[in-house]
């Protein structure tokens, strides 16, 4: 007898079993035990979901803003009421500690709250009497069926970067979550249904590359939002564009935190440890490189090491745990290989996460601190996506900025200093989409928008907030005139005034 759950799809307002016969195992990373088998959709199953979404869109597009807003308010309340349960589902499959998962839910909620005000965002613009008796109004129309393809590391928040604005603007949505931790998104689907969104307006199709490729090629899907690793983001952007879709694709990162000698070293060390090892480093905005300028280096490395040694690592549902396991065995093994590669390349291993000696089959790894990392090392160049922090020592602030310029990624960065002039120079010169001054993880609130630069994004629009509304709508300009038929005549000239 199976002792794990079968996870199907959510289509047309209800859970449906997968019919492809293909599944992927889902594990609890804290125990290494399989807890679920998630259905992997066939092309036919994806097509059927799109047909349901398209039918629902035809009514939803013309539903009143008042009706959409009411459903959004209901969803906001339901997610808030069920936040702890949602967070527990995140922890059970991702591994992050429950308090961190609660933070994820809170940041997702922000996006629902933003969309509760969708009427303001969709107001449009009007010009009166642009010519004699002629007015022009520009309004924003929904696109149709839109899709979201999301990563494992924020299994509830990243879908909520997309869904509220997409639905609020009058679109129907197909979500394809990560096959590693799909249950929290399935729970969100139930809450969206309970909130009063009509059946078929939101659908969730689980799957792998087969489902993703079917999304990218489907003629009735008008736009694709993607968040994940850089190579896949590039693939999604290229393929969806080739198939005539609007696409936003956010990729990976290598986020540098610069520390100037005048910074408060204790404060900077607290921030570095929190931003590097929170969620076991599996955040696209995690700090993975500390750039220590001049004299900051020695005391900073000592302070980071001292704080890191004191961290408690364990099961994410244990309230004393500060850091949980990695998401999969492969992810843990991969991070371990980077520790070895860094040491082989000449970095000083101040703390070795492999030494921690955990019992059991969970995917635990301790925190690693490498000093003397240099840009030629793979541990510097690659996105490691785990609890590994590298310290690069540079003599000057300009050298630190140069590292940012040379890096192919441009998601997030932070500067720690007490010098306002240096901070101003940093915000002016850092070639990065999200910049923090004494803020290590500068994820913008929901009424701004989220997006990196360079290889961290492949699209014109950033995600959520005002840019999200722009992405999920197309403008329509309506010119009106109510002339007196008595003064009408044929005029073949181009209309002017």
Q: Considering the rule CB under 6 A, would residue 227 count as an interface residue with ligand NAD?
A: yes
- Decide: helix, strand or coil at residue 416: strand
Nearest residue (CB) to ligand NAD, 134 versus 445: 445
Output the CA–CA distances (angstroms, integers) from residue 42 to 22, 207, 217, in the order listed.
8, 8, 14
Q: Per CB under 6 A, does 252 bind ligand NAD?
A: yes
Q: Tell which residue, 129, 103, 139, 43, has the closest CA to residue 275.
A: 103
User: CB of 483: closest distance to ligand NAD in angstroms?
Assistant: 51
Question: Strand 172-176 to strand 23-28: parallel, antiparallel, or no bridges (unpaired)?
Answer: unpaired
Tell the smallest beta-carbon distance from residue 253 to ligand NAD (Å): 5
Site for ligand NAD contains 411 (CB under 6 A):
yes
Distances (CA, A) of 226 to 2, 439, 456: 33, 26, 12
Residue nearest to ligand NAD (CB): 228
- Binding of ligand NAD at residue 433 (CB under 6 A)? no
Closer CB to ligand NAD, 417 or 449, in the complex: 449
Site for ligand NAD in 51-110 (CB under 6 A): none
CA distance 18 to 39: 5
> What is the C-alpha to C-alpha distance for residues 132 and 134, in angstroms, rounded to an integer?
5
SS3 content of the chain, % helix, strand, coil (to 5): 40, 25, 35
Q: Report the SS3 class of residue 418.
A: coil
Is 450 in a helix, a strand, or coil? strand
Stretch that binds ligand NAD, among 117-125, 143-151, 183-191, 354-362 (CB under 6 A): 143-151
Q: Residue 434: which of 278, 257, 288 has the closest Cα?
A: 257
Binding mask 276-295 for ligand NAD (x = CB under 6 A): --------x-----------
Binding-site size for ligand NAD (CB under 6 A) equals 27
List phi, psi (to 5°) of 34: -75, 130
SS3 465: helix
Residue (255 or 321) nearer to ligand NAD, CB? 255
Minimal distance, residue 275 CB to ligand NAD, in Å = 14
Which SS3 state, helix, strand or coil, does residue 220 take?
coil
Distance CA(303)–CA(178), nearest Å, equals 37
Yes or no: say if 277 and 257 are a contact pair by the CB < 8 Å rule. no
Q: Is residue 225 part of the contact set for ligand NAD (CB under 6 A)?
A: no
Segment 443 to 472, residues that bind ligand NAD, using CB under 6 A: 452, 456
**What's the CA angle centered on 153, arms 152 and 159, to 5 degrees?**
70
Choosing from 116, 169, 284, 367, the catalytic residue is: 284
Q: Does residue 151 bind ligand NAD (CB under 6 A)?
A: yes
Question: Per rule CB under 6 A, is residue 152 in the interface with ligand NAD?
Answer: yes
Residues 162-221 that bind ligand NAD (CB under 6 A): 176, 178-179, 208-209, 212
Instruction: Write the interaction track for ligand NAD spanning residues 329-368; mark x where CB under 6 A is met and - where it is not.
Output: ----------------------------------------
Answer yes or no: 367 catalytic.
Answer: no
As measured in angstroms, the least distance from the Cβ of 251 to ligand NAD is: 6
Residues with catalytic annotation? 284
Site of interaction with ligand NAD (CB under 6 A): 149-154, 158, 176, 178-179, 208-209, 212, 227-229, 232, 250-253, 284, 383, 385, 411, 452, 456
């Amino acid at each position: 007898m199976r002792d794990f759950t079968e996870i199907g799809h959510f289509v047309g307002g209800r859970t449906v079993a997968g019919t492809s016969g293909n599944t992927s195992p889902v594990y609890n990373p804290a125990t290494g035990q399989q807890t679920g088998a998630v259905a992997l959709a066939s092309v036919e199953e994806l097509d059927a979901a799109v047909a349901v979404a398209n039918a629902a869109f035809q009514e939803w597009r013309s539903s009143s803003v008042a009706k959409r807003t009411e459903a959004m308010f209901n969803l906001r309340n339901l997610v808030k009421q069920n936040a702890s349960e949602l967070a527990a589902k995140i922890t059970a499959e991702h591994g992050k500690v429950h308090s961190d998962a609660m933070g994820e839910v809170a940041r997702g909620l922000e996006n629902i709250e933003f969309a509760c005000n969708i009427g303001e965002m969709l107001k449009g613009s009007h010009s009166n009497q642009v010519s004699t008796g002629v007015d022009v109004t520009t309004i924003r129309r929904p696109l149709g069926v839109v899709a979201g393809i999301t990563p494992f590391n924020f299994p509830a928040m990243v879908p909520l970067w997309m869904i509220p604005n997409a639905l609020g603007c009058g679109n129907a949505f197909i979500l394809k979550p990560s096959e590693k931790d799909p249950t929290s998104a399935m729970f969100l689907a139930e809450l969206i249904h309970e909130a009063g969104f009509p059946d078929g307006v939101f659908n969730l199709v689980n799957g792998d590359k087969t489902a993703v490729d079917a999304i990218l090629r489907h003629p009735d899907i008008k736009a694709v939002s993607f968040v994940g690793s850089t190579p896949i983001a590039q693939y999604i952007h290229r393929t969806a564009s080739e198939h005539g879709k609007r696409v936003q694709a956010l990729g990976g990162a290598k986020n540098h935190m610069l520390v100037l000698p005048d910074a408060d070293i204790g404060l900077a060390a607290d921030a570095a440890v929190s931003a590097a090892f929170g969620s076991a480093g599996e955040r696209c905005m995690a700090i993975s490189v500390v750039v220590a300028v001049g004299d900051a280096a020695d005391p900073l490395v000592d302070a980071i090491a001292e704080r890191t040694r004191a961290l408690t690592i364990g099961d994410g549902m244990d309230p004393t745990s500060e850091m949980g396991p990695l998401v999969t065995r492969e992810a843990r093994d991969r991070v371990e290989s980077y520790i070895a590669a860094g040491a082989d390349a000449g970095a000083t291993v101040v703390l070795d996460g492999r030494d921690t000696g955990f019992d059991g089959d969970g995917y635990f790894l301790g925190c690693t601190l490498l000093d003397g990392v240099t840009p030629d090392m793979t541990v510097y160049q690659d996105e490691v996506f785990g609890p590994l922090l590298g310290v690069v020592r540079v003599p000057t602030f300009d050298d630190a900025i140069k590292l940012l310029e040379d890096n192919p990624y441009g998601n997030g960065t932070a500067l720690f200093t007490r010098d306002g002039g240096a901070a101003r120079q940093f915000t002016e010169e850092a070639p990065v989409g999200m910049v923090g001054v004494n803020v290590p993880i500068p994820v913008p609130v929901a009424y701004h928008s989220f997006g990196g630069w360079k290889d961290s994004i492949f699209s014109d629009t950033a995600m959520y907030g005002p840019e999200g509304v722009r992405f999920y709508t197309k403008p329509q300009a309506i010119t009106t005139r109510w002339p007196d038929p008595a003064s009408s005549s044929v005029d073949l000239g181009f209309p002017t005034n």
